[in-house]
Chain A
Amino acid sequence: MLEVDIRIRRGAFALEARLGAPTPGVTALFGASGAGKTTLALALAGLVTPDDGRIALDGECWFDAAHGIAVPAERRRIGYVFQDARLFPHLSVAGNLDYGARRARPLVRYADRDEVVALLGLKGLLERRVHELSGGERQRVALGRALLAQPALLLLDEPLAAMDVARREEVLPYLETLRDRYAIPMLYVSHQYEEVLRLANHIVLLADGRVAAAGTPAELGTHPSLQALIGAEAVGAVIDATVATVGPASGLAEVTIGRARLRVSLPGATPGAQVRLHVLARDVILATHPPEGLSVRNAFAGHLLELKAEAADSVLATVAIDGMRILARISPAAVEELKLAPGMAVWALVKAASLRRQAYRRGESAPVPL
């Protein structure tokens, strides 16, 4: 458990963060620019000293204003991957990788150099000079360098923010690989919801220097603060599911969520794999009767929990289905016509094809313990 309860005031900006992040696991520090994400990350690393409060990782105290404890950054064993990579220009890629490795305590070695080089695809880059690398390559080297310092916590401060969307795809899979390979706690700072959904198993939502909400992606998917941040288009339920069966050729998989079964396009999935589905509210249709004669394969019986006016022309409906919640965006006219009201029995229809892009595959292998 990473426990943080700190206060930092710098001029007009104030950060008052109190949060707990499960370890191991990936916790996303999610929020708009200026919400205080980087300040919080710097405080965790020891590069910014809080005015007051306490920081501890798995019982090891790094900062405690009340007891005068402030472990210097160089002794906290935090792997910090900066947005601008910050590779040392006077060293080669290999020299950068070895910089932290040489300073790591021998007793805590878990990341092996050859393995990290292979996992991050750095073999062909080792002799290169840092300024010859592309943005994606730089971040991969920065990741390797941080990891080889054998950190107790890996802090990723918007490592993809300086890259365009295509380049991000050159780094994201490596982040997933590291997450699945090592049981190292990770804190991933981002303002990209897609990245957060893909990597994190816990989200801390930061707004105006405070923690606005915290929980699993599934829990936060229906949270109003999150919806305000990600924009109407991205609003939808987040569901962690297990692949039950996979069709032989079509790639259409059946996944189980509690007692419910959902058909999803998941080419290449294997039975037993964990997947995360992002069911966009705009792709869900509500019916007051069991549907017939439709091409939609996924119809769930449930009951209406809540109706919330989003804008003049849309209402967000929350439907409870076997313990999971699905969001549907409908028009005020539909609410009136169908006489929708909380508590009513409804059917939620989800088109299998619309789920495809939002399906994130998650790792299955057991990670290396620290």
Chain B
Amino acid sequence: MLSAAESEALVLSLRVAAESVLLDLPLAIALSWLLVRARFAGRPLLDAFVHLPLVLPPVVIGYVLLLLFGIHGPIGSALRSAFGIRLAFTSGGAALATAVMSLPLMVRAIRLSLEAITPGLEDAARTLGAGALDRFVSVTLPLMAPGILAGAVTAFAAGLGEFGAVITFAGNVPGSTQTLPLALYSALQSPSGEWAAARLAGLSFALGFGGLALAELLARRLRRRLGQ
């Protein structure tokens, strides 16, 4: 069905999307908590900043990543001299670019579930002897689970299709950074690639739709379990 190059693109896309979700999860949980629970002066600014990838052209995100994480960028050069890690034009860079782009999606989903927690449950846990970290792990986190799950699956599905930021920051190297949409783009550029492009588009459609449906299904199940 798929050519070797196409299945390579598919596997790479899945890997990049999965890595981006893992990168996003702790950050998105922390940001949601800050945005919902913490009271500090710069909260509206942080809120706007987190949502920037939704409104900026993805190529801008890729460009900013190049500036910061490129081999001459401040973070990129530091990572390289300290750990020998290079991100620009690698599959790790593709995951980072994807993570930045899908972060607002995940924060939105997690934030909603955090706001939906019945007020006072954490106070109840306090009176039962649970300290701050204990309360977060034993009460807050499990009650956020529907949002975390929905956010992760949505971000994964969206990450499979990330194009602009990835091609700018990680390039379009077959087998290394050429994910599904990039392979699709390359196929369209070649004179005989129409049929390959159609198949890749169909595959993207199936993955995206399947991902969203799965997210909704899982979140529904979890919510029912929690009686919400």
Contact = CB atoms under 8 A, between A and B. Distances in A.
B51 to A, nearest CB: 29
Contacts of A129: 225, 227
A130 interface: yes
Question: Which of under 10, 10 to 19, 20 to 34, or 35 or more describes the interface residues of B?
Answer: 20 to 34
Contact of A145 (B120, B128, B142, B227): B128
B198 interface: no
B127 A80 contact: yes
Interface string B133-150: 010001100110100000
Interface in B198-228: 225-228
Residue among B118, B123, B129, B228 with the highest chain A CB neighbour number at 10 A:
B129
B140 to A, nearest CB: 10
Residue among A46, A100, A145, A146 with the highest chain B CB neighbour number at 10 A:
A100
B130 A130 contact: no
B226 A90 contact: yes
Interface string A53-74: 0000000000000000000111
Interface string A125-144: 00001111000000000000
A86 B120 contact: yes
A220 B55 CA distance: 68
B118 A90 contact: no
Interface in A65-122: 72-80, 82, 84, 86, 88-90, 99-100, 103-104
A132 B224 CA distance: 11
A315 interface: no
A89 B227 CA distance: 7
Given A129-B227, A131-B227, A86 B124 contact: yes
B120 A82 contact: yes
Contact of A86 (B121, B145, B226): B121
A149 interface: yes
A99 B225 contact: no
Contacts of B226: 89-90, 131
A73 B227 contact: no
Contacts of A103: 128-130, 134
Contact of B142 (A77, A84, A90, A104): A90
Contact of A74 (B120, B126, B143, B227): B126
Nearest to B117: A89
A149 B128 contact: yes
Contacts of A90: 139, 142-143, 145, 225-226
Contacts of B73: none
A286 interface: no
Main secondary structure of the interface of A (DSSP, over half): mixed
Residue among B128, B138, B142, B143 with the highest chain A CB neighbour number at 10 A:
B128
Contacts of B124: 80, 82, 86, 88
A162 interface: no
Contact of B127 (A79, A89, A130, A131): A79
Residue among A84, A90, A100 with the highest chain B CB neighbour number at 10 A:
A90
A78 B127 contact: yes
A74 B121 contact: no
B23 interface: no
A154 B109 CA distance: 38
Residue among A72, A74, A99, A131 with the highest chain B CB neighbour number at 10 A:
A74
B219 to A, nearest CB: 14
A47 interface: yes
Interface in B57-90: none
Contact of B129 (A47, A131, A149): A149
Contacts of B118: 86, 89
Interface in A174-233: none
Given A45-B127, A103-B129, A130 B121 contact: no
Interface in B127-178: 127-131, 134, 138-139, 142-143, 145
Cβ-closest 5 pairs across A and B: A131-B227, A103-B129, A100-B128, A86-B124, A80-B127
Given A47-B123, A99-B128, A131-B227, 10 more contacts: A73-B127, A82-B124, A86-B118, A89-B143, A90-B139, A90-B143, A99-B130, A130-B227, A145-B128, A149-B127
26 contacts: A72-B126, A73-B126, A74-B129, A74-B130, A74-B131, A76-B127, A79-B127, A80-B124, A80-B127, A82-B124, A86-B118, A86-B120, A88-B124, A88-B125, A88-B139, A90-B143, A90-B145, A100-B128, A103-B129, A103-B130, A129-B227, A130-B227, A145-B128, A146-B127, A149-B127, A149-B128
Interface of A: 45-47, 72-80, 82, 84, 86, 88-90, 99-100, 103-104, 129-132, 145-146, 149
Interface of B: 118, 120-121, 123-131, 134, 138-139, 142-143, 145, 225-228
